[in-house]
Amino acid sequence: MSAISCQAWRVALAGMGVSVALALAKIVIGLMAGSTAVVADGVESAGDVGASLVVLFGLWVAAKPPDANHPYGHGRLEILTGLVVGIILAAAGAVIIVRSLDRVGEAHEPPAAYAVWPLVASVALKSGLAAFKLRHGRRFRSSALVADAYNDLVDVLSGSVALLAVGLTLYDPARFLAADHYGGAAVGLIVIFTGLRVVRTTTLQLMDTMPDPGRMKEIRRVALSVPGVLGVEKCFARKTGFQYHVDLHLEVDPELTVRASHDIATDVRFRIRERLEWVADVLVHVEPFLPQEANASTPGHSSGPGGRPSAPGPA
């Protein structure tokens, strides 16, 4: 397991421990205090535990080195676990809404005042945990860890909504007795929307969506800095876990020998991997450089400063 994977694993494990403690506290205290919103938030935290287990599994598998059947490594499973986390969130949100609305209209006593304490603790702890996971998830380029961080941000929002609902009920039980139940339903709605957002992000990555234009420009810039490279005709990249695999079409002097062209391509490959740590590997295809007058008549091909052709935008 790589150093990045080990650190991501520890971050996810720490998050799971906090989620277990909060889930138990909110469900037990919510039931004792008679608060639907607190129990709903506890169920959401219990879903976090399941999501964190999925993330840990994905990080473990993604850390395996490439083999004969998986030459690009096992990183795609890490993205897939992010998708599963989103689905778990959406499903948990639907269950929370149904369970909360089922109790609207029932005659019951207002919740006990101590129901607010697990919610206050949840908002405080999850705020710190979300910032911690988000920072490390972006640093490690882990889709699953970033998805788990957004999951924690949902906890902060859902805990705040539940806290407001319980507070209204305690403030004026005669007028806001149902606020506790509606607060639980609002928590469920927030969870659903967040789950769908995570599903969309991870699905785009599984569909080999290109990285942002800034990163594509970095790849071209580094490639063009290698002596002998006259242009970048095509450039594609796809995420395969923590890093990207790049396909690059270089233009070189057509009079060069095959060996010389191969040496330039090798230099480009290693320079990109050395300077851009988010690139796992580069597949380089060499093409003959077209004269400038031919370039001008070739659709989608433009020249850069000094007559050097620059790569077209992502296709």
Bridge-based pairing of strands 279-288 and 244-252 is parallel
What does the pLDDT read at residue 91?
84
Task: For the chain, give percent helix, strand, coil, nearest 5.
Answer: 65, 10, 25
Distances (CA, A) of 237 to 86, 136, 155, 246, 275: 24, 23, 34, 4, 16
What span, in angstroms and rounded, lies between the C-alpha atoms of 86 and 150? 10
What does the pLDDT read at residue 247?
92
| Continuous segment of H or E residues that includes residue 278 | none
What does the pLDDT read at residue 217?
92
What does the pLDDT read at residue 59?
67
Strand partners, 310: 302
What does the pLDDT read at residue 263?
94
What does the pLDDT read at residue 292?
61
Report the largest interatomic distance among the alpha carbons of the chain, rounded to a whole angstrom.
Answer: 88
Bridge-based pairing of strands 302-303 and 309-310 is antiparallel
What does the pLDDT read at residue 253?
93
Q: Name the phi and psi angles at 221, rounded to 5.
A: -60, -45
Q: What is the pLDDT along the chain (315 residues), one digit of tens a residue?
A: 455 556 776 777 777 788 888 889 888 998 888 887 788 778 777 776 776 677 677 767 766 777 777 766 666 776 787 788 788 878 878 887 887 787 676 656 778 888 889 889 989 988 988 888 888 877 776 766 777 787 788 778 878 888 888 888 888 877 777 777 787 788 788 778 878 887 887 888 777 778 788 889 999 999 999 999 999 988 999 887 667 889 999 999 999 999 999 999 999 999 999 999 888 889 999 999 876 644 444 443 434 433 444 444 443
What does the pLDDT read at residue 224?
94
Strand partners, 276: none
94 in helix, strand or coil? helix
25: left (phi over 0), alpha (psi -120 to 50) or beta: alpha
Domains delineated in the chain: 3-206 (1.20.1510.10), 213-310 (3.30.70.1350)
299 in helix, strand or coil? coil
Indicate the pTM of the whole model: 0.57
116 in helix, strand or coil? helix
141: left (phi over 0), alpha (psi -120 to 50) or beta: left
Residue type, 234: K
State the Cα angle at 43 between 41 and 45, rounded to 5°: 70
